[in-house]
Chains A and B, each alone.
Chain A
Amino acid sequence: MGLIGAYRLRLRRRRLHLRGWLKRREMTNVVNRTGAIRGDSIILLCTLRNERIRLPYFLRYYRDLGVNHFMMVDNGSDDGSREFLQQQPDVSLWVTPGSYRKSRFGMDWITALQRKYCHGHWTLVVDPDEFLVYPFCETRPLRALTDWLDTSGIRSFSAMLLDMYPKGPIDAQPYREGQDPFEIAQWFDSANYSVKRNPGNGNLWIQGGPRARVFFPEEPIAAPALNKIPLVKWNRAYAYASSTHMLMPRGLNLVYDEWGGEKASGCLLHAKFLDTFAAKAEEELSRGQHYANSAEYRAYRDGLKTQPDLWCKWSEKYINWRQLEILGLMSKGNWA
Chain B
Amino acid sequence: MTGASVPATHQAANGTLGFVMLCHTALHRAAETARHWAERGCPVVIHVDKRVQKWSVEKLQSDLADLTNIRFSERFACEWGTWGIVAATQAAAEVMLADFPSVRHVYLSSGSCLPLRPVKELIAYLDERPRTDFIESVTTEEVGWTIGGLNMERFTLRFPFSWRTQRWLFDRYVKLQRRIGFKRTIPNGIVPHLGSQWWCLTRQTLSTILQGPDRALYDRYFRRVWIPDESYFQTLVRQVSANVESRSLTLSKFDFQGKPHIFYDDHLQLLRRSDCFVARKIWPHANKLYATFLSDDAEGQAGGEPNPGKIDRLFSKAVERRVKGRPGLYMQSRFPHEHWENGRTAAPYSVFQGFSDVFENFEGWLGKVTGTRVHGHLFAPDRVEFAGGEAVFNGALSDSAALRDYNTKSFLANLIWATRGERQCFQFGPGDNQELNWFMALDSNAQISVISGAWAVPLFKSNLNFTDIRREAARLQKIELDHLSVLRNGAAKARIRIWNLAEFIENPMEPLQTIVDEISPRSLRRLTEAPRLTDLTGFGQFLQNLRNQGMQPVLMGDFPTTNDPRPSDSRRGRPYLVK
Contacts and interface: CB of A to CB of B under 8 A. Distances in A.
Contacts of B259: 151-152
A160 B332 contact: yes
B318 A332 contact: yes
Contact of A262 (B255, B257, B333, B418): B333
A322 to B, nearest CB: 12
Q: How large is the interface on B (under 10, 10 to 19, 20 to 34, 35 or more residues)?
A: 35 or more
Given A152-B259, A192-B397, A218-B402, A263 B333 contact: yes
User: By CB atoms of chain A within 10 A, which of B255, B341, B393, B398 has the most?
Assistant: B398
A329 B333 contact: no
User: By CB atoms of chain B within 10 A, which of A139, A140, A259, A328 has the most?
Assistant: A328
B283 interface: yes
A289 interface: no
B318 A335 contact: yes
A139 B265 CA distance: 7
A204 B335 contact: yes
A148 B407 contact: no
Nearest to A206: B332
B334 A221 contact: no
Given A191-B417, A220-B403, A316-B396, 14 more contacts: A136-B266, A141-B285, A144-B283, A189-B395, A189-B396, A191-B396, A220-B406, A255-B332, A258-B340, A261-B324, A261-B325, A312-B396, A314-B396, A329-B331
A2 to B, nearest CB: 21
B423 interface: no
Contact of A259 (B285, B336, B397, B406): B336
Given A256-B332, A336-B315, A192 B398 contact: yes
Interface stretch (A53-61, A193-201, A273-281, A294-302): A193-201
A256 B403 contact: no
B322 interface: yes
Interface in B283-301: 283, 285
A212 B410 CA distance: 14
Interface string B306-347: 000000001101110111111001111111110011100000
Interface of A: 136, 139-141, 143-144, 147-148, 151-153, 158-160, 189-197, 204, 206-210, 212-213, 216-221, 227, 255-265, 312-316, 328-336
A333 B322 contact: yes
Given A189-B395, A190-B395, A332-B321, A258 B264 contact: no
Contact of B325 (A136, A195, A257, A313): A257
Contacts of B266: 136, 139-140
Given A191-B395, A191-B418, A258 B337 contact: yes
Given A139-B264, A332-B321, A336-B317, A217 B402 contact: yes
Contacts, number: 187
A216 B266 CA distance: 42
A190 B396 contact: yes
A289 B182 CA distance: 67
A144 B317 contact: no
A260 B410 contact: no
B2 interface: no
B333 A331 contact: yes
Contacts of B342: 260
Contact of B332 (A204, A207, A258): A204
A145 to B, nearest CB: 10
Contacts of A227: 332
Contact of B334 (A143, A147, A256, A335): A256
B414 interface: yes
A197 B337 CA distance: 10
26 contacts: A139-B264, A140-B264, A140-B265, A160-B331, A191-B414, A191-B415, A191-B418, A192-B395, A194-B407, A195-B335, A217-B398, A217-B400, A256-B332, A256-B335, A257-B322, A257-B325, A260-B324, A261-B334, A262-B322, A262-B325, A262-B331, A263-B334, A314-B397, A333-B333, A336-B261, A336-B318
Interface in B151-189: none
B216 interface: no
Contacts of B395: 189-192, 314
A335 B329 CA distance: 18
A108 B395 CA distance: 37
A60 B218 CA distance: 59
Nearest to B315: A336
B439 interface: no
A73 B330 CA distance: 35
Nearest to B325: A262
A329 B418 CA distance: 11
